Chains A and B, each alone.
Chain A
């Protein structure tokens, strides 16, 4: 890959904390102008990986390249990256404008021009007129905006964000997600976001790297990640997926014929066959919304199975049904949009469940 397509390049990056192997051979490329997310459970090494880009963490082996340049030996203050810290790290002894202008000390521009740049940066993050405020007199959301302005004013090549939204309440978080996307499009800078919230990653990112225990399990765009997770672990981490045991009957150039209890014989295309099976053997996976309960007059689906409704969870716009398909042991979850005029079914009712072989994935 030429450097033109790579803003960040990890080449077999390893990191040890004493005996603890925190990063286990990370190889990945982040493109210029991309909104990239590092997603994974707590302790998987997301922050560590982000900090190797910023220069706060030395790597044990491998290489980290920013815009084609190896960062080995380049101190944090000399790197073309800036960071929004999880705690925001807004200097408490400085005012808002002093915080935003902190990195401009060596900027050759005149004092007036710098003041204008600070005012513009504050306006960009929606804090026009807040410059004279003391840093400690800000709310969490405002602090975050100051942190963004302080980093973006330096026009970095890459902006690093470590769980920037985790300290905000749900409403504020959703608002900031939209604003971050808008801001990223406006400035065109590569954003790298660390998060453990899969929904946040799906909403915001162009591409996502899912990490487990110091390794990247899958790197893909949100849709691929959701529809074609490459292992049960990834499938489990992102959204909900139903798993049912399956038996492989025959194999033909990547495509397989399987037999799954309750579903019968299914032809699975090569693109739907993934690795990452567990000791139980082959498994088929369905997202809840790929199964539908068929009402009278519903459009026909490729295949149908009969089932009994075991549990009904009503969410207003959605209803979740846990149903047991005839011939299976474990219930599967189905999510249905509550369309006007369509009754919510009761527990114990019998139902026809429609599905399509193209929507499933096979882990083997």
Chain B
């Protein structure tokens, strides 16, 4: 009896010290993550005349502009994700498989160099390159290939995608690199040994085993780019708003917190659904790899 009560007291004090340990994290999580989320949720459900309901959601999502903007946001972010991951995979593969072990950290270090300048500066840089009077246009004009600035490379979705893909490339390279590093090289030799060429070994062994890294990269790029509003503003010159610009406008400029919150929560749900689809696809893919 005595020993069992002693044990439970010990357990309690252990739990208490555990709580104490996590409490800063817990406070942080509640204050900075849960609290704002709950606030937004409450706003989105509050009705003008008091009480709660889904009226704001109906208003927000029956608006044609909001529908168009969320579709544009998804198009842009899915394109960015596709471009980024497709470009990041070979880089990660190269560093993992072809760079000598003692050089790998140097390569990773080099890959992070673009992060040494702020995101805003990098976006402006792209503006300098792609802009109306930018490097490409004035260059082409000075050698006489074109007479007036190309509109095609400015203020459009491809320009947005290019800028964002550049910004998120390292975020995509790192998780894929880690996943590739974790693959035991004897798996690849086994693939060759069992009669598959290097290419088929890649598709049947390397790629499926690196899928967790690819999915991590997809989510890391997709989620923040859906909600990006700086890049559309600067690169799109205000002509290519995405859903986040709309939320900003509704919340701040129109000061309509209820409607803005409803758009925000709706966008969040869309992102969550797409992310879950990615995760499920990954599971299917891993199972289906034959």
A contact set with B: CB distance below 8 Å: 54-56, 75-78, 81-83, 85-87, 89, 91-94, 98, 102-103, 105-106, 150-151, 154
Contacts and interface: CB of A to CB of B under 8 A. Distances in A.
Contacts of B100: none
27 contacts: A76-B189, A76-B192, A76-B193, A77-B195, A77-B196, A77-B197, A78-B195, A82-B193, A83-B189, A83-B190, A83-B193, A85-B190, A86-B186, A87-B184, A87-B186, A89-B187, A91-B190, A91-B205, A91-B209, A93-B208, A93-B289, A94-B289, A103-B195, A103-B196, A105-B200, A106-B195, A151-B193
A94 B194 CA distance: 15
Contacts of B192: 55-56, 75-77
A93 B209 contact: yes
A154 B205 CA distance: 19
A76 B200 CA distance: 13
B11 to A, nearest CB: 33
Contacts of A93: 208-209, 286, 289
Interface string B191-232: 111111100100011001100000000000000000000000
A92 B209 contact: yes
A54 B186 CA distance: 13
Nearest to B185: A89
B189 A154 contact: no
B289 A85 contact: no
B194 A154 contact: yes
Contacts of B197: 75, 77
Contacts of A85: 186, 189-190
A98 B192 CA distance: 16
Contacts of B290: 98
B152 to A, nearest CB: 43
Contacts, number: 62
B282 to A, nearest CB: 11
B209 A82 contact: no
A92 B286 CA distance: 10
A343 to B, nearest CB: 53
Nearest to A95: B287
B189 A56 contact: yes
Contact of B196 (A86, A89, A105): A105
Contacts of B208: 93
A28 to B, nearest CB: 22
Contacts of A150: 194
A94 B192 CA distance: 16
Contacts of B205: 91
A82 B289 contact: no
A261 to B, nearest CB: 53
A166 to B, nearest CB: 14
Contacts of A75: 192, 197
Given A56-B189, A77-B196, A87-B186, 10 more contacts: A55-B192, A75-B192, A82-B194, A89-B186, A89-B187, A102-B194, A103-B194, A103-B196, A105-B196, A105-B200
B189 A89 contact: yes
Nearest to A83: B193
Q: What 9 pairs across the A-B complex have the smallest Cβ distances?
A: A103-B194, A89-B190, A76-B192, A89-B186, A93-B208, A85-B186, A77-B192, A83-B193, A103-B195
A54 B192 CA distance: 10
Nearest to B205: A91
Nearest to A75: B192
Contacts of A86: 186
Nearest to A147: B190
A189 to B, nearest CB: 15
B281 to A, nearest CB: 15
A87 B194 CA distance: 16
A184 B290 CA distance: 29
B189, B194, B195, B286 interface centre (most CB from chain A within 10 Å): B194
Contacts of B193: 54, 56, 76-77, 81-83, 151
Nearest to A103: B194
Nearest to B194: A103
